[in-house]
Amino acid sequence: MPRPNILLIMTDQQRWDTLGCYGNRTIETPNLDWLAAQGTVFTHAYTSTPSCIPARATLITGMDPWNTGILGMGRGQGPMGGGFEHTLPGELARVGYHTQGVGKMHFHPQRALNGFHNTVLDESGRAESPSFVSDYRQWFAANRTGDYGSTDHGIDWNSWMARSWHAPEFLHPTNWTINESIKFLQERDPNRPFFLKTSFARPHSPYDAPSYYFDLYNQKEMPKAFVGDWATVHDVPKDAANPDAWHGVRTDEEIHRARAGYYGSINHIDHQIGRLLTELKKSKLDQNTLIIFTSDHGDMLGDHNLWRKTYAYEGSAHIPMIVRLPASMRKSSADVVDQPVCLQDIMPTILDAAGLEIPDTVDGASLLPLIRGESAPWREYVHGEHSTCYAEIQEMQFLTDGYWKYIWLPRVGTEQLFDLRRDPGECRDLSGEAEYRDELLRWRHRLIDVLSPRNAGLTEGDQLICQAGKPPIVSPHYKVRIDRWEQEKAQ
The catalytic site residues sit at 52, 106
3-state secondary structure 70-128: CCCCCCCCCCCCCCCCCCHHHHHHHCCCEEEEEECCCCCCCCCCCCCCEEEECCCCCCC
Give whole-number Cα distances, 262 to 167, 218, 276, 412, in Å. Answer: 17, 10, 21, 32
Rounded Cα distance, 214 and 227, in Å: 25
What is the distance between the terminal CA atoms of the chain, rounded to a whole angstrom?
39
DSSP labels, 238-283: HHHTSTT-SB----HHHHHHHHHHHHHHHHHHHHHHHHHHHHHHHT
Rounded Cα distance, 40 and 62, in Å: 20
What is the SS3 assignment for 344?
Answer: helix
DSSP labels, 346-409: HHHHHHHHTT-PPPTT--S--SHHHHTT------S-EEEEE--SS-GGG-EEEEE-SSEEEEEE
Rounded Cα distance, 112 and 132, in Å: 12
What is the SS3 assignment for 179?
Answer: helix
C-alpha closest to that of 444 among 389, 384, 398: 398
Residues ≥6 apart with Cβ < 8 Å to 203: 11, 12, 13, 14, 18, 262, 263, 265, 266, 269, 299
Paired sense of beta strands 404-409 and 414-419, if any? antiparallel
**DSSP conformational letter for 207:** B
Residues ≥6 apart with Cβ < 8 Å to 205: 13, 155, 156, 157, 158, 159, 160, 299, 308
Give whole-number Cα distances, 457 to 74, 274, 278, 388, in Å. Answer: 19, 49, 53, 16
Rounded Cα distance, 388 and 384, in Å: 14
Rounded Cα distance, 91 and 103, in Å: 21
Rounded Cα distance, 30 and 63, in Å: 33
Residues ≥6 apart with Cβ < 8 Å to 78: 70, 108, 478, 482
Phi, psi of 400, rounded to the nearest 5 degrees: -155, 145
Rounded Cα distance, 255 and 162, in Å: 9
